[in-house]
Structure 1
């Protein structure tokens, strides 16, 4: 699978990477699995959660993604 990018829809992220639900919850990013309907991209959800540095968030997600592939 390709690297996670900031424009990935939240719905696609949690569908492709089920482990991301926990990651998002730890970052206080609400996702559809958390009981809230959320539409839009990862970047939009991160901004709503007050995360200013989207690049660090993306890098962290991709590190976890890489580990999950092994």
Structure 2
């Protein structure tokens, strides 16, 4: 049962059948894809953080505009 689950998971992940030895080129390809994916994850995390900062700045501007609309004074930064 456990072996069947493992085989199904490997197939779902696109990994070769573990019952047959992998060639060095297959191992290198998997490692490269892993490193490439880690780089991409890092880029996406940086993009998310950048977008969060942008959203925070926009929220501050919207708040200031709403306060001006209602006749309140808004300090300029």
TM-score by length of 1: 0.32
Q: Indicate the structure whose relative CO is greater, using CA pairs within 8 Å and at least 6 residues apart.
A: 1
Higher helix fraction (1 or 2)? 2
Q: Which has the larger radius of gyration?
A: 2
